[in-house]
Amino acid sequence: MNQNNILSEIIEKFQIFHCVECGKCTGACPLAQVDRDFSPRLVAKYVIEEGIDSEYVKEKAWTCLTCGLCNERCPIGISFTEFIRAIRPLFITEDFKGHLSHGGALQGLMRMQAAPDLNQNRIDWITGEHKISSQGEILYFTGCLTYLETFFSEMNLELKKIASDTVKILNSIGVEPVVLPDERCCGHDLIWIGDEISFHKLRSLNIESFKKAGVKTIITSCGECSYTLKNLYGQPEEDFPFEVMHISEYLQKIGFSAGKELSEIATYQDPCRLGRFMGVYDAPRQLLGSIMELREMPHFRAGAWCCGNSAWLHCDRYSKQMQVERLMEAKGTKSDLIVTACPKCQVHLTCAMNDVNLMQDLNMKIRDISSVIAESIE
Amino acid sequence: MTSKKGILIIGADLQGLQAALTLAHLGRNVTLIDKNIEIAALPENWSDKGKRWNQYLYTQVLYHPLIELLTQTEMTQLKEAGGEVKAGLIQGPMWVSPDLCVDCGKCLVSCPVEFSNGYKPLFELSGPSTMTIDKRKIAPCRAACPIGMNPQGYIALIAQGRFEEAYELIWATNPLPGICGRVCHHPCETACRRQEIDEPVAICALKRFAVDEVGKKKKKPGTCDTSSPEGPRVAVIGSGPAGLTAAYDLARAGFCPTIIEAEKKPGGLLLHGIAPYRLPREIIKKEIAQILDPGVDLRLNSPVNSYKDIEKLKAEGFRAILLATGATKDLRMQIKGEDLKGIYGCVSFLKDLWKGKKIKSPGRVVVIGGGNAAIEAARASVRLGAKSVTIIYRRTRKEMPADPHEIDQALEEGVKLRPLTIPVEFEGRGDGLAQVKCIKMKLGDVDASGRPRPIPVDGSDFFINADTAIVSIGQKADISYGVGGDLKLNQRGAIEVEADGQTNIFGVYASGDVVSGPSTVVEAMASGRRAARTIIYALKPDTVPDGEEEPEFSSLEYDPILKDTPTKKRRAPFHRKISERVKDKNEVIGSFTMKDAINEASRCLQCGVCSECLRCEAACDLNAISHDRTAIQRTLHFSKVIFSDKVQTPSKIESSRMIRIERFGKKDSWAKAVVAGRAAAVKALAGTTPVTVEPTFHKRLGDGELKIGIFICSCNGTLNENDRLDEMISPLVDISGVAHVEVLVSACHPEKGRRIEKLISEKGLNGALIASCTCCHLAFACESCNDQRIRLKHRLFRESGYDPKDIALINIKETCLLPFKEDDKTAIDQSMRMIRSGLWQLKDSKKLSKGSEEPCSQAIILGATEAGISAAIGLKEKYASVIIVENLKVEKSIEEELSKFGIDLIRPVKPVRLDGRRGKFTLILEKGDSLLSKEKKKSPKLSLQKKGKRLQNLDIKIFDESPRYKKIQAGIIILGRNEFKNIPYKRDSFATGLHAGGSRAFGSLETGIPGVYMASWSQVKKLSDQTTGMSAAGEALENVSDKTGPFGSFVDNLVAYADPELCRGCGKCADICPEGAAILEEITRGAGLSWIEQGLCTGCGNCISECPTGAISLPEAEQWYFEKVINAFFE
Amino acid sequence: MPSLNRKKPILAFFCNWAPYRCYMDLCRSESSFRHLIYPVKVMCSGRVDPAMVLFAFEKGAEGVMVLGCKDKECRYGPGPKQSTKIAEPIKALIHILGLESERFRSVKYSFNEKNRLLEEIDSFAKTVDKLKKSPFVP
């Protein structure tokens, strides 16, 4: 089957023909606010008109943030982001596969985790105060925290602490989660850059280890991991008999009551995958609201602005502008800190704070929800 | 008056190299000479930095098209006249041409000479990276040989067991080697220096060994040319050694010689005068046959009896006639009884004998004389069954001219010797001889012959009984044919010739004993050779080169003989037992055994170091080596001359055309050398105009789908043994886009490399990958470059004019083939990987470029110090406007001087702020009160912020609004006084990087801010301010001048580019860029934009590794490029 | 002659200046340089970023070296500092991945240190030889 036929099938599958060209998607798109050339509507238009040869689609397929705001607004209910994910593999060419940030080092790290005989040292954050088990029903999926903290060591982010804090929270409610020493990357970023082969390798390796450990429930501290495991791991030919939850969901489900109140005022950044993709808006807000004052930014919940980047792709001038705007919104709430539920939001927003010109105006504390909760129960 | 003539720099040491480079960057033609052969080597006490910089400058100098570098060159005279300098230059003989040598090492392998410590006459230089030859005075053995044989050469070859090559070397000069190997009186051994330790080397026997050993299976070496049937005809009368040698030489020169012999067999005295047990007849026969075959005619039984015969020959068409009839007439004693029966002349006795005439037993024999012929006669008598044989000689044995070795053998065979004896009368019984009356002699003073004169002892008469007497006191020429002509003879009855063999008759020449009287075989041969040469020159004047006929020899002394050289006994070949050998005519002495020969040959001291065996010439297919090259003298005209520190200068150095590089301390003073060299270059600029440089790259091979040609260099075949490189061809052809693959002999050789050009145009290629020893296609030379790599770049980019975009160069010689020389499989495998990775160069080189931006043509000097003024004067050569800014008082005289040079002076002003970058600086000056009118004095004044705090926009406005401040633009800034380094620079920081000689450049006066220089440098204490000032100006000029690369001279063509779409404006590139080429500008809130000043970028790529977004691209430093290269390795 | 690292190739990023010259001298010299090195030339060791090193490991390099100029001898200026800066994170990252951090080395040279380079490559090759096969080697 040639590329164009595959494309036609995808267009069919995602009902792109139903687009009424109302332009609401473009109106909502945060990227379109800064990059006047970008329009989801036009992508839909050109992909129908020109198919695989469309230069516009080839370029925009890669610059799309995949934040999902357009999906929310589409009167027809087209899932534009899923459509983008589906067409990216078709638009990989020898000389253009999107601009990977950091020279593709992060995607490289993820691809490398697909090697079967790996013996990683990814759980060095586990100390005597953490209680974990190797077999059990509840698994804590740590994600790329160890890698990211090391890679971005210049930024002094405490990403490994998220994992540590999550385990501590679970311990506090009597759960001794399984933590896999050879857990692989969930593959979120790889499938979003069109590398389906590596994604499936990671997926099978992970499922195998889940099964081996006798897991029934998977808890993550990352919106992307949650989304990927929950929505993308299940395949028609192979079922995925696990329940996947973000830590906030889990805590809400078991009726976790937080500890002491914190004096800081926080604003909550909705991660795209956790929010719009999985509809988890209330759980983190309830948890946070019970221990501190929570203020909303002008764009929040389903309308929240993206942290500016996804899958370490096209971290460009427009990303930066979006990040600065988002930080300005956060500053505008006069909160003390931004709380997010995805480590990548932390990385992106922290990076944007280093602006040469606006340094003082953007600086703000940013923490993960797990760390905030852990602090409250100390 | 300005001149476009070049500038001569004498002394290619560090400062000379730097001066040359500075001048060349400023467009001046430079001739740089050095008397040394190796100029990249530096004394041990120089620091690594200095050595490195020297090497770097050397490669730059080689690469620069405006510099002619002449090593081994000295200046012989220097004359200043008519507004120019006339210099006589002499360049020593370049036996290895640096322009042709590819440094492949073949010659090294071919050279037979090796000393016990491993030293070889050929060795590799580090810069220029070519071979060189250690040649001394001509070796004594070779100098002593009348026919110019090269014993050192063939002995070295024998010592290595390379007998065939030794044989060929022997044949190159000697047509009768087997004969000489037996009967030569070997003056070489007499001259041999080995006897200072023990005994001379047995050269003669070694020669015989080589000839016997190889001659068994081989006829004559193929190297001998033969005559052409059309060549001029020459008659050679006489077939002795002289005639044979002459005929051989004539045939080799393309002549048609005919030997005319009176006897039945050719050979002359070889046949008639030398016994078969010394010189077997088959040797004579064989070697004469080799001379005759083909090309030399022989007429036997053709005596030339009268002058008419000679005229007949002329009429027959012989254009020259060489008389080589020898000295065959025995001299008589002229004493009583000499006509008695039983008394023979030696030559006629031997001639009859060897012709086969039956001679009955001679009874008691007396031989009179002490030459070889006398010994010969004595030994022949022994073999004829003589009862006794006595040799009578008038001096002592020591004075006997015969070979001592021969005397020994005769004595061994029973011959008696009566020295100090002279016959005075033969007394007979009947008509036969009965006894010889003799008197005794004593030795007196030394006579004209250099020997002591024998004086008769009165009353010492005595008698020796004898049946036969053989008179061997000498021979003279038989010149009966001269009668009837007017052939001029000398007093001794020999033919009178000029030194070269020309007789007094046109077209008639003479050589050998007929000229000299009786001599030796080799001397006769030498004489024949001289005559042949004369004939060749007379009939074919163009065959002998004009002027110096002899190749030039080195005048370097031999190495002294070390006291601890171990002695080694001279070996003697096998001698047959006396009892046996006297019974037959078979040869007495055998040949060396192979082992003995090698051992004996290894005794040679190799006096000349290089033996001139010419094996290296034969090994080099590229004609890089020629031992015949001579020194080249030239007279050239220059506009200026610069003398480097180490060169003796002539007394009239004060002339403005003669510039001396300022002296500096000797030890480790590389930085000073660079500074001083640059300053001298700037001084030399005055009165000269730059030449126009042709653009280097002008030929694009076309875009479109790549059609690549791959050329693999085998480095003169040294990397291609067993055709292993050919294995790569077919797998490479299969790669898509590859249209042609070929193994080249040598890509950097001027001639052989032209094939690349030919194939590119023939096959319509639009990309070429050259896998050789050259490692990049960038338009610069670095420390890893050597002569060959630079030469290839010159060929491709300068001569052929290809754009580096279309050419990829990768190094497989050093990275694959040399390290795995013994492991073909790895070598080929690794090479394939390298070549595959190199193909990506072609796909990524399309962006190679060097942008340009016109720099501001105004230069500012801060401070009217001596250094500053010198710098200003230097800058005036290039900059239209040069301004000196000063806040202190300046003397009237200085002001006047400055205006003379057209330099503006602004004072009193104080520089308060510097902005911008190289090429585009903005300097803000605060006017002193005396420049301001009354009310203006009240204008607001900027209070300088504390260090580290940035200026607010509000503050900056003052500069535009207040009349107190003045803004001026400048391309470059030179700090005349060191205090000015505290001037605030950039928006938000005070300059802290203002120090000269920073880490980036060596001996540089540039500060941490590119484009800002210091005119005086405290570290260079020994140099005057004038010199440092000039040098700063030179550096500044260099950096802005060159047309082929604005700001950066011939540095490189790698330039980064920032994609505005991808740039996040994080400023990391601007932070890391050492050149200030990456510039960050804010465009909207939160988003910046970096752009890269093309002229400033040096292509290091640090910004790329810093850039988080991949916005910066730089040819051959991009992520995808490295991914492809790495992929190619692991494929 | 068998090459030492036939099955354990080392990828080396050579700065064009001092280290590459050492490497050239080394290959040309008669000392038995028999290591299988895949040389990648960069203009300055500061150009080498973690992505390149990780990519080399991913493709099957058993060891990766970055060879730069000595601190104050960089032609450009920031190179040595930059290459030092990336060394630690790279070591940490490959450690997390389960590769021994000895598999990566960042070394600095002057232009005439071919013998030191030989020693360094020798010792590096020996170190790598002792380690078990990298999980990324196909």
Map out the domains of chain C as residue ranges: 10-130
- Cβ contact, residue pair C96, A111, below 8 Å: no
Examine the pLDDT at B176 and tell me if it is beyond 80: yes
What type of residue is A200?
A: H
Q: Given B784, B826, B1000, which is nearest C77 (Cβ)?
A: B1000
The reply to whether B950 and B805 lie within a common domain is: no
pLDDT of residue B992: 39
pLDDT of residue B988: 41
The reply to whether A296 and A316 lie within a common domain is: yes
Cα nearest neighbour of A326 on chain B: B1086
- Cβ contact, residue pair C51, A111, below 8 Å: no
The reply to whether B444 and B466 lie within a common domain is: yes
The reply to whether B1069 and B1100 lie within a common domain is: yes
pLDDT of residue B450: 80
Residue A260 lies inside a defined structural domain of this protein? no
pLDDT of residue B1046: 32
The reply to whether B532 and B596 lie within a common domain is: no
Q: Given A99, A321, A358, which is nearest B1062 (Cβ)?
A: A99
Under the banding of pLDDT at 50, 70 and 90, the label for residue B851 is: low
The reply to whether A182 and A271 lie within a common domain is: no
Among B146-150, B854-858, B927-931, the range with the most confident prediction by mean pLDDT is B146-150
pLDDT of residue A188: 95
Reported as a single tens digit per residue, the pLDDT across A128-171 is 999 999 999 999 999 999 999 999 998 999 999 999 999 999 99
Provide the pairing of β-strand B73-81 with B84-91. Answer: antiparallel
Cα nearest neighbour of B1068 on chain A: A356
The reply to whether A111 and A241 lie within a common domain is: yes
Q: Which residue has the higher pLDDT, B94 or B652?
A: B94
pLDDT of residue B586: 87
Chain centroid offset of residue B342 CA: 65
The reply to whether A113 and A73 lie within a common domain is: no
- Per DSSP, the three-state class of B529 is helix
Looking up tokens 């032609």, which residue turns up?
A: C75
φ and ψ of C65, to 5 deg? -120, 145
What type of residue is B1054?
A: L
pLDDT of residue B483: 67
**Chain A residues within an 8 Å CB radius of C50:** 102-103, 105, 151
Residue B119 lies inside a defined structural domain of this protein? no
Which helix (H) or strand (E) is B581 found in, with range? helix B578-581
Neighbours of A, requiring at least 3 CB pairs below 8 Å, are B, C
φ and ψ of B807, to 5 deg? -120, 135
The reply to whether A108 and A156 lie within a common domain is: yes
- Cβ contact, residue pair C51, A117, below 8 Å: no
State the best of C11, C25, C75, C110 to mutate against chain B, taking most chain B CBs within 10 Å: C75
CA distance to partner chain A, nearest, from residue B812 (Å): 28
Residue A331 lies inside a defined structural domain of this protein? yes
Reported as a single tens digit per residue, the pLDDT across A14-39 is 999 999 989 999 999 999 988 889 99
What type of residue is B1024?
A: S
Q: Given B819, B1102, B1104, which is nearest C76 (Cβ)?
A: B1102
Residues spanned by the domain of A271 = 265-377
The reply to whether B945 and B1027 lie within a common domain is: yes
- Cβ contact, residue pair C58, A153, below 8 Å: no
Strands (E), B282-363: 297-299, 320-323, 329-330, 343-345
Examine the pLDDT at B1073 and tell me if it is beyond 90: no
Residue A258 lies inside a defined structural domain of this protein? no
Q: What region, left, alpha or beta, does residue A46 occupy, with left being phi > 0 and alpha being psi -120 to 50 degrees?
A: alpha
Among B797, B817, B845, the domain-final residue is B845
Q: Which residue has the higher pLDDT, B299 or B1044?
A: B299
CA distance to partner chain C, nearest, from residue B775 (Å): 9
| Of the candidate ranges B367-376, B541-550, C79-88, the one whose mean pLDDT is the lowest | B541-550
**In sequence order, which residues have a C-beta less than 8 Å from that of residue B20 and are 6 or more positions away?**
B9, B12, B30, B32, B61, B64, B67, B69, B681
Count other Cβ atoms within 10 Å, centred on residue A176: 15
Closest of B890, B830, B885, B896 to residue B861, by C-alpha: B885
The reply to whether B486 and B467 lie within a common domain is: no
Examine the pLDDT at B950 and tell me if it is beyond 70: no
Give me the mean pLDDT over the A328-347 stretch.
94
Q: Given B52, B826, B1102, which is nearest C46 (Cβ)?
A: B1102
State the best of A113, A151, A157, A180 to mutate against chain C, taking most chain C CBs within 10 Å: A151
Provide the pairing of β-strand B432-446 with B421-429. Answer: antiparallel
Which value does ipTM take for this structure?
0.94
The reply to whether A160 and A272 lie within a common domain is: no
CA distance to partner chain A, nearest, from residue B1066 (Å): 6
Give me the mean pLDDT over the C68-90 stretch.
88
Asked: is C10-130 a CATH 3.40.50 domain? The reply is yes
The count of structural domains within chain A is: 3
Q: Given C51, C52, C98, which is nearest A120 (Cβ)?
A: C98
CA distance to partner chain C, nearest, from residue B587 (Å): 50
Query: pTM of the full predicted structure?
Result: 0.85
Under the banding of pLDDT at 50, 70 and 90, the label for residue B695 is: low
Examine the pLDDT at B948 and tell me if it is beyond 50: no
**Chain A residues within an 8 Å CB radius of C97:** 109, 112-113, 118, 120-121
The reply to whether A298 and A210 lie within a common domain is: no
Does the beta carbon of C138 lie under 8 angstroms from any beta carbon of chain A? no
The reply to whether B572 and B605 lie within a common domain is: yes
- Cβ contact, residue pair B1108, A325, below 8 Å: no
Q: What is the average pLDDT value for chain B, to the nearest integer?
A: 85
pLDDT of residue B1001: 60
The reply to whether B894 and B772 lie within a common domain is: no
Reported as a single tens digit per residue, the pLDDT across B502-560 is 898 888 999 999 998 888 999 999 999 999 999 998 888 776 544 444 556 677 889 89
Q: Alpha-carbon distance B1046 to B1051, whole Å?
A: 10
Examine the pLDDT at B1042 and tell me if it is beyond 60: no
Among B845, B872, B904, the domain-final residue is B845
Q: Alpha-carbon distance B470 to B645, whole Å?
A: 76
Reported as a single tens digit per residue, the pLDDT across A107-131 is 999 999 999 999 999 999 999 999 9
- Cβ contact, residue pair C97, A113, below 8 Å: yes
pLDDT of residue B547: 42
Q: What is the average pLDDT value for chain C, to the nearest integer?
A: 88
The count of structural domains within chain B is: 7
Q: Given A103, A317, A323, which is nearest B1061 (Cβ)?
A: A317
**Chain A residues within an 8 Å CB radius of C93:** 109, 147, 150-151
Under the banding of pLDDT at 50, 70 and 90, the label for residue B153 is: very high
Dihedral, CA atoms, B745, B750, B753, B759, nearest 10 degrees?
A: -140
- Cβ contact, residue pair A95, B1063, below 8 Å: no
Closest of B540, B142, B638, B470 to residue B320, by C-alpha: B540
C-beta separation of C46 from B1102 below 8 A: yes
Of all residues in chain B, the percent with pLDDT exceeding 90 is 38
Reported as a single tens digit per residue, the pLDDT across B885-931 is 998 888 899 999 899 989 999 988 888 888 777 778 889 888 887 77
CA distance to partner chain B, nearest, from residue A361 (Å): 11
The reply to whether A71 and A142 lie within a common domain is: no
Provide the pairing of β-strand B640-643 with B658-660. Answer: parallel
The reply to whether B438 and B457 lie within a common domain is: yes
pLDDT of residue B703: 78
Under the banding of pLDDT at 50, 70 and 90, the label for residue B618 is: very high
pLDDT of residue B1020: 64
Examine the pLDDT at B778 and tell me if it is beyond 50: yes
Examine the pLDDT at B145 and tell me if it is beyond 60: yes
The reply to whether B681 and B767 lie within a common domain is: no
pLDDT of residue B252: 86
Under the banding of pLDDT at 50, 70 and 90, the label for residue B2 is: low
Give me the mean pLDDT over the B792-814 stretch.
88
Residues spanned by the domain of B780 = 708-845
pLDDT of residue B1045: 38
B455: which strand partners? B442
Give me the mean pLDDT over the B161-176 stretch.
92
pLDDT of residue B225: 55
Looking up tokens 């779409």, which residue turns up?
A: B1061
Cα nearest neighbour of C86 on chain B: B1105
Cα nearest neighbour of A355 on chain B: B1066
The reply to whether A166 and A248 lie within a common domain is: yes
CA distance to partner chain A, nearest, from residue C103 (Å): 15
Closest of B584, B999, B162 to residue C110, by C-alpha: B999
pLDDT of residue B687: 83
Closest of B1108, B1101, A115, B807 to residue C13, by C-alpha: B1101
Examine the pLDDT at B299 and tell me if it is beyond 80: yes
**Chain C residues within an 8 Å CB radius of B823:** 1-3, 34
CA distance to partner chain A, nearest, from residue B808 (Å): 20
Under the banding of pLDDT at 50, 70 and 90, the label for residue B953 is: very low
Give me the mean pLDDT over the A78-104 stretch.
88
Examine the pLDDT at B457 and tell me if it is beyond 70: yes
Residue A259 lies inside a defined structural domain of this protein? no
- Cβ contact, residue pair A321, B1085, below 8 Å: yes
- Cβ contact, residue pair B1054, C16, below 8 Å: no
Examine the pLDDT at B1051 and tell me if it is beyond 50: no
The reply to whether B1028 and B890 lie within a common domain is: yes
- Cβ contact, residue pair C37, B815, below 8 Å: yes
Reported as a single tens digit per residue, the pLDDT across B976-1003 is 887 787 777 764 443 334 444 444 566 7
Give me the mean pLDDT over the B298-319 stretch.
90
State the best of C96, C100, C104 to mutate against chain A, taking most chain A CBs within 10 Å: C96
Give me the mean pLDDT over the B48-66 stretch.
84
Under the banding of pLDDT at 50, 70 and 90, the label for residue B739 is: very high
Examine the pLDDT at B956 and tell me if it is beyond 70: no
B711: which strand partners? B742, B770
- Cβ contact, residue pair C54, A109, below 8 Å: yes
Reported as a single tens digit per residue, the pLDDT across B469-510 is 999 998 888 887 776 667 888 887 788 888 788 898 888 999
Q: Which residue has the higher pLDDT, B299 or B548?
A: B299
- Cβ contact, residue pair B819, C43, below 8 Å: no
Examine the pLDDT at A93 and tell me if it is beyond 80: no
Examine the pLDDT at B201 and tell me if it is beyond 90: yes
Does the beta carbon of C137 lie under 8 angstroms from any beta carbon of chain A? no
Give me the mean pLDDT over the B288-316 stretch.
88
Report H helices in B218-280.
Answer: 241-252, 269-272
pLDDT of residue B1092: 77
Give me the mean pLDDT over the A231-249 stretch.
88
**Side-by-side strand order, sheet with B1012-1014:** B904-906, B881-885, B858-862, B972-975, B1012-1014
pLDDT of residue B1049: 36
Q: Residues of C numbered 59-78 whose beta carbons fall under 8 angstroms of chain A's beta carbons: which are they?
A: none
**Chain A residues within an 8 Å CB radius of C49:** 102-103, 105
**Chain A residues within an 8 Å CB radius of C54:** 105, 108-109, 112
What type of residue is B247?
A: A
The reply to whether B463 and B489 lie within a common domain is: no
pLDDT of residue B3: 65
Does the beta carbon of C36 lie under 8 angstroms from any beta carbon of chain A? no
Of all residues in chain C, the percent with pLDDT exceeding 70 is 92
The reply to whether A121 and A238 lie within a common domain is: yes
